[in-house]
A and B are shown apart, each in its own frame.
Chain A
Amino acid sequence: MLKINNLHAAVDGKAILKGLNLEVGSGEVHAIMGPNGSGKSTLAQVLAGRDTFTVTDGSVDWDGTDLLALPAEERARAGLFLAFQYPVEIPGVSNAYFLKAAVNAVRRHRGLPEYDAMDFLARVKAEMKAVGMKEEFLYRSVNEGFSGGEKKRNEVLQMALLEPRLAVLDETDSGLDIDALKIVAEGVNRLRSPERSMIVITHYQRLLDYIVPDKVHVLSQGRIVRSGGRELALELEEHGYGWIDAEGKATKTAAGARP
């Protein structure tokens, strides 16, 4: 269970998250939607432990652990996974080495035996097949020269290999054609389980045709301004984000006016 309470985060003194509240129960899939610049990626990065962002107030409790107190690598080992909106290219580090180092870091933490080269290859090849990645991607540098879709598949591959307890997917659907989108959605659906929570950040409702969320939240100007079921996503699709922005401002004014 993840409980985000009154989260405030800033970058270079500029407030971005301004009192965000969110609870995600075990086994639940929550979608977060919102206009560009509303703070979706900031939330994802703060959860993953990026220290460019300063948490100025609030807390995040993750099954009784103070998530914000852990460095990024410990969060990952404890089972938090962020699928990056913009996966980073790392020239000179082979994808195979990277994946193996990541998987073994997590396995060590869980008290599981580390994979040897053979076992790892067998496992990774099976997972690659499932996300439609050719084997050659193992021997290329991490994300280097990958197309947008290939990078996103690589993220889903990592998620499958790392078997997280909490997965945050930051616009994993953007820039994908419908076939790639389906593969990503299948990857997510395959991982749905009672022990695993997921936060699926998306700009478009079309992903939610394939990943059916338990709840949908709308983020605007650093706050969750609406929460609801699937129908909220359809409403957004129909009306756009304009009304949300207006409402966000209205809420702010109202809050400001409170004694």
Chain B
Amino acid sequence: MSEIDTWVARQRERAAHLPGAALPWLTRRRADAIARFADLGWPTSRLEAWRHTSLAFLEQQALAAPDSAAHPAATLAALRAAFDDGGHWLVFVDGQFAPTLSVIGTLPTGVTVSALSEAFNTAPDAVEAAFGTADDSASPYALNLALCGDGAFVRLARGTALEQLLHLVFIGATGAADSHLRNLIVADANSEASIVEHHVGGGATLGTVVTRVQAAQDARITHVKLQQQDAQAIHVAQIEAEQARGSHFASHSLSFGARLARNDIHTRFDGEGCETLFNGLYHVDGRRHVDHHTLIEHAMPLGTSREYYRGLVDGNARGVFAGRIIVAQDAQRTDAVQRCDNLLLSKLAEADARPELEIYADDVKCAHGATVGQIDEDALFYLRARGIDEVHARQLLTYAFAAEVIERIAHDALRKHARTALLARLPGGAMLEELL
């Protein structure tokens, strides 16, 4: 038996004891998923979509639970302090729901917020409908399906609105070498919510996260992901959205932490007049690696998509962006804009930005562009010519470059929190606090 077979056998065993094991449909899907993973193995650079981000090393590497990490309660308290407007907090530690840390305020009638591990019992049919299968998944997400025992389950009945932010906090503490989470967000017609995923802590663990969003007609869902994991963590995550007519979905992905972070973000317009915003920012330094693969499928007419990604790549780090937009033959009067701009902050930093437009309709407006560059020397000189020293000027321009992405976050406290998180990563951040 090869190493991976042994590992898979162990995971099969593990799946049998996960929450939801009593649900026959789930047992079947988990079995299919682990079979798919066993078949595919970890993605290697031979696969086009993983060309820059091979996970083959995971086959060799025994994952270990982190041996030290901040206490989850302290981590959570620090996070909550940034949001004095309350909000709802669903907290997971090492991949498991932490009821004692979670605080869910009063929810409007028709809104359900619960842990997936509970929803398996309380709403099995709804979970089944939203859960997804591993049939076409890349292997890490098949593995996720096989091994996820928890995550968030959010359901918004027709016409309901969650006024305050729903925070999903995923804390890597000391209990697990790997964790697999699946979040299901089911938004019925005309409902509205903003959901924030915070990924913090993590040690040297592997975490896979799949977030599935179903936005029914005219629903408005904003999803913000703030990944600030420890510099040893491996974070592999997928966001999958399906949008019905007239719905609006925004995905903000801020990737600041982890040794390796991979995000696959995908939405499909299944009805006319859908809108989406993909807004992303990554910062990597040292030997860290970040990869965003995005896909916006304009399957129906009159859709509007805006995609803006920016990357700060420092040290020996590498930033990868591959953004695909597919405009189907029927998707007339599509309006799509995609940009990815990278700032290299050191000589050894590397960024790959690849836009890919496939347009099969003829009446469309599509624009795209990608850049990899250094700090604008003209701007640098302009600041210096006004007495601002070079170090400060560079820091200011770096921050300003990244801040454009953060400014697209509409919620005040969240935007401020994101700024603080960014400044904490940048040299001279304290000096720039004045900007806030």
Q: Which of A48, A72, A87, A89 is packed against the most chain B CB atoms within 10 Å?
A: A72
- C-alpha spacing A72/B379, complex, angstroms: 13
CB-contacts of A138-193 with B (<8 A)? 141-142, 158, 162
Q: Judging by beta carbons under 8 Å apart, are A50 and B381 in contact?
A: yes
Given contacts A71-B390, A97-B434, A92 and B385 within 8 Å (CB-CB): no
- C-alpha spacing A233/B434, complex, angstroms: 47
Q: Does B389 contact A (CB under 8 A)?
A: yes
Q: Judging by beta carbons under 8 Å apart, are B386 and A109 in contact?
A: no
Q: Which of A49, A91, A101 is packed against the most chain B CB atoms within 10 Å?
A: A101
Distance of B37 from chain A, by nearest CB (Å): 43
- C-alpha spacing A92/B381, complex, angstroms: 16
For chain A, the bracket of interface size reads 20 to 34
Chain B 379-423 interface 0/1 with A at a Cβ cutoff of 8 Å (1 = within) = 101111111111011001101110110010000000000000000
Chain A 87-122 interface 0/1 with B at a Cβ cutoff of 8 Å (1 = within) = 111111110011011100110010000000000000
Partner of A49 from B376, B384, B392 at Cβ < 8 Å: B384
With a cutoff of 8 Å between Cβ atoms, the chain A residues found around residue B78 in the complex are none
Chain A 33-76 interface 0/1 with B at a Cβ cutoff of 8 Å (1 = within) = 00000000000000011101000000000000000000111011
Q: Does B435 contact A (CB under 8 A)?
A: yes
- C-alpha spacing A38/B333, complex, angstroms: 51
Q: Judging by beta carbons under 8 Å apart, are A91 and B400 in contact?
A: yes
Q: Does B39 contact A (CB under 8 A)?
A: no
Q: Judging by beta carbons under 8 Å apart, are A73 and B396 in contact?
A: no
Q: Judging by beta carbons under 8 Å apart, are A72 and B400 in contact?
A: no
Partner of B401 from A73, A77, A92, A97 at Cβ < 8 Å: A92
Q: Judging by beta carbons under 8 Å apart, are A90 and B389 in contact?
A: no
Q: Judging by beta carbons under 8 Å apart, are B387 and A105 in contact?
A: yes
Q: Judging by beta carbons under 8 Å apart, are A90 and B397 in contact?
A: yes
Partner of B379 from A73, A75, A90, A105 at Cβ < 8 Å: A90
With a cutoff of 8 Å between Cβ atoms, the chain A residues found around residue B403 in the complex are 92
Q: Does B67 contact A (CB under 8 A)?
A: no
For chain B, the bracket of interface size reads 20 to 34
- C-alpha spacing A52/B385, complex, angstroms: 14
Q: Does B378 contact A (CB under 8 A)?
A: yes
Distance of A41 from chain B, by nearest CB (Å): 13
Partner of A88 from B378, B399, B401, B435 at Cβ < 8 Å: B378
Q: Does A244 contact B (CB under 8 A)?
A: no
Partner of A72 from B378, B385, B399, B434 at Cβ < 8 Å: B385
**B398 nearest CB neighbor, chain A only:** A92
Given contacts A50-B381, A84-B382, A101 and B388 within 8 Å (CB-CB): yes
Q: Judging by beta carbons under 8 Å apart, are B382 and A105 in contact?
A: no
Q: Judging by beta carbons under 8 Å apart, are B404 and A72 in contact?
A: no
Q: Judging by beta carbons under 8 Å apart, are A102 and B386 in contact?
A: yes
- C-alpha spacing A31/B382, complex, angstroms: 23
Given contacts A92-B401, A97-B435, A106 and B387 within 8 Å (CB-CB): yes
Given contacts A97-B434, A97-B435, A90 and B382 within 8 Å (CB-CB): yes
- C-alpha spacing A76/B392, complex, angstroms: 15
With a cutoff of 8 Å between Cβ atoms, the chain B residues found around residue A198 in the complex are none
A: residues with CB less than 8 A from B are 48-50, 52, 71-73, 75-77, 82, 84, 87-94, 97-98, 100-102, 105-106, 109, 141-142, 158, 162
Q: Jot down 29 A-B pairs with beta carbons below 8 A, ordered by A.
A: A48-B385, A50-B385, A52-B377, A71-B384, A73-B393, A75-B385, A76-B386, A76-B387, A82-B385, A84-B382, A84-B385, A90-B382, A90-B400, A91-B401, A92-B399, A92-B401, A92-B404, A93-B397, A93-B400, A94-B435, A97-B434, A97-B435, A98-B383, A102-B387, A105-B387, A141-B400, A142-B382, A158-B386, A162-B387
Other A-B pairs, 15, CB within 8 Å; known A52-B377, A72-B381, A105-B386: A71-B390, A72-B384, A73-B385, A73-B387, A73-B390, A75-B385, A88-B379, A90-B400, A91-B400, A91-B401, A92-B400, A92-B401, A92-B403, A93-B400, A158-B386
Top 8 A-B residue pairs of the complex, sorted by shortest distance between their CB atoms: A92-B400, A105-B387, A102-B386, A76-B387, A88-B382, A72-B384, A73-B384, A77-B387
